[in-house]
Amino acid sequence: RRGEGSCAPRRRVGRNEGLGHGRSRRGVEVRAASVPVAYTPTQWLAVALGYSCIIGSVFRCLPQIHRIVTRKSVEGISFIAILSELLIYTVNLAYNVHYNYPFNTYGDLAVSWFVLIFVLVLMQVYKRFDSGRVALVTALSSVWCLVLFSNSLPVVVLSSLQAASGIGLAFGSRIPQIWLNFKKGSTGELSIIMFIANALGCLIRVFTTISLTQDNLLLFNAAFHLVLNAIIIVQCVGSRLDSAREQEKLEGMGRSVN
């Protein structure tokens, strides 16, 4: 069935006019793409928690640095654990930057990355490792960072590294620290406040990942690190309770002698 205006002659569209129409349509698409997506209340909460996690990451690292500097000791802190954590955090940062995820979903990683470098410098100051080995580790670490942040790796390789980083952090950082604590029967100069903050940060990252990025690799890493940090917290609590009981026992013996 023909409409009322169907008898009207069709106007031929000129070439330039058609191009103008195409440009205007693309312009509308670009403007539509630039309009920010409306967040749900849950997502706004995730954004707020993400920024609070970034701010908190600054303060959660200060107790460990303060403890090292005031006591001038790195006793109980595993060099391999800190270095491995730095290299793995580099993978995590490069992965988030590559996929252009919001900074509030990974900014705490950036803060922790710089803090780990500072802790390694403090370990060199107070422990004095061999200068040749230090130079070699510094050079290799620099090459590692350059390759990851230069965006030269294929996506499949970067994703595989991200997937392996959770296991790598476990066996290269947290598990050696857990084993060192178990073997020595003490957590030494480890700051329980830092690990409690780490655990809370991981818990927040589980929530922000589910709410904002839905990235299963990031979700696995956050949940796995949460469990490992919880184990170290339990060790720190046990170590401090043992120290308190030993102190009370010594004080009791002193009073009995007097």
Q: How far is CA 31 from CA 28, 34, 100, 214, 253, in A?
A: 5, 5, 20, 26, 78
Q: For residues 39 and 105, is the Cβ–Cβ distance under 8 A?
A: no
**Cα torsion angle, 193, 123, 184, 168, sign:** positive
What pTM was computed for the model?
Answer: 0.64
- Given a cut of 70, whether residue 258 has pLDDT beyond it is no
The per-residue pLDDT for 257 is: 65
Helix (H, G, I), strand (E, B) or coil at 219: helix
Percent of the chain residues past pLDDT 90, beyond the cut? 22
Q: What are the tens digits of pLDDT across the range 193-206?
A: 878 888 888 899 99
In angstroms, the CA 34 to CA 122 distance is 45
pLDDT band at 128 (very low <50, low <70, confident <90, very high): confident
Greater confidence, 103 or 24? 103
pLDDT band at 37 (very low <50, low <70, confident <90, very high): low
Q: How far apart are the first and last CA of the chain?
A: 114
Report the amino acid identity of residue 88. I
- Cβ neighbours of 188 (radius 10 Å): 16
